[in-house]
Chains A and B, each alone.
Chain A
């Protein structure tokens, strides 16, 4: 079983749609959680951290459920520029400070 698993993609949605990505992690010792965005053939960039209380940044909302070991990302009113691959990432300090990446979910927003 992979340590971090994401919805298989791709997601193809029209502009203005709301889209949700799901992610589960297997190691309960995971301490920090993030969503990264990766454009085609580019490096990943941090989109937002994920907190237990849930957090919002404009059109993006991230949620964490530690009991279920589940992370989500909601994008409202999607734009063409949101088209990218979204990577779910967990951090485990007890393994030398290690980021563990999910395989990514590709989003394509169409006009």
Chain B
């Protein structure tokens, strides 16, 4: 089955620790995205990548980093510089030139203790 997987589903971390969230897709999509969702709010774009080895900051990139070494994978690192990291993180992907048709993974819920 084609789709997007994110792991882990739930993640707990101590303050001051970096943590990496995984996102993998087998849809052969060129573009991948990371969003953050806080309670009662819409999704906000953290980073996106339209091609391997290239990525762009979204609206709330501070305290986050990404890499895009493979087409299938777009891991997100939440660093200790991110002031309020507790949130629901969603990864998405889309075909090149069909950026308006994004498919979402099941999300990772990160809680900082």
> Which residues of A line the B interface, CB within 8 A?
4, 31-32, 34, 41-46, 87, 91, 93, 96-104
**Chain B residue contacts of A98, Cβ below 8 A:** 45, 48, 58, 99
- B50 sits at the interface (CB 8 A): yes
With A93-B99, A96-B56, A97-B100 in contact, do A44 and B43 touch (Cβ < 8 Å)?
yes
Please state if B50 and A96 are interface contacts (CB–CB under 8 Å): yes
Partner of A102, one of B42, B99, B102, B105: B42
Partner of B100, one of A44, A99, A101: A99
Which residue of the partner chain A has the closest CB to B102?
Answer: A99
Within the complex, which residue of A45, A93, A104 is in contact with B104, where a contact is CB–CB below 8 Å?
A: A45
Contacts of B45 in A (CB 8 A): 98-99
Which residues in A have their C-beta under 8 angstroms from that of B78? none
Q: Is the CB of A97 within 8 A of B99?
A: yes
Q: Which B residues between 45 and 62 are near A, CB-CB below 8 angstroms?
A: 45, 48, 50, 56, 58
Interface check B110, CB cutoff 8 A: no
Q: Report yes or no: B42 in contact with A103, Cβ–Cβ below 8 A.
A: yes
Contact residues in B for A31 (Cβ distance below 8 Å): 100
With a CB–CB cut-off of 8 A, which chain A residues contact B35? Answer: 101
Residues of A within 8 A of B58 (CB): 98
A42 CA to B107 CA, complexed, in Å: 7
Q: Tell me what chain B mostly uses at the interface: helix, strand, loop, or mixed.
A: strand
Decide if A104 touches B56 in the complex (CB within 8 Å): no
B66 on interface, CB distance cutoff 8 Å: no
Chain B: interface residue total (CB-CB under 8 A):
24
Set A44, A100, A103: member contacting B40, Cβ < 8 A: A103
Are A44 and B56 in contact, with the CB atoms below 8 A?
A: no
Residue of A nearest to B4 (CB): A43
Q: How far is the CA of A42 from the CA of B9 in the complex (A)?
A: 11
Specify which chain B residues have a CB less than 8 angstroms from the CB of A87 in the assembled complex: 42-43
Q: Does B17 touch A at the CB level, under 8 Å?
A: no
B21 an interface residue at 8 Å Cβ cutoff? Answer: no
A98 to B48, CA, bound (A): 9
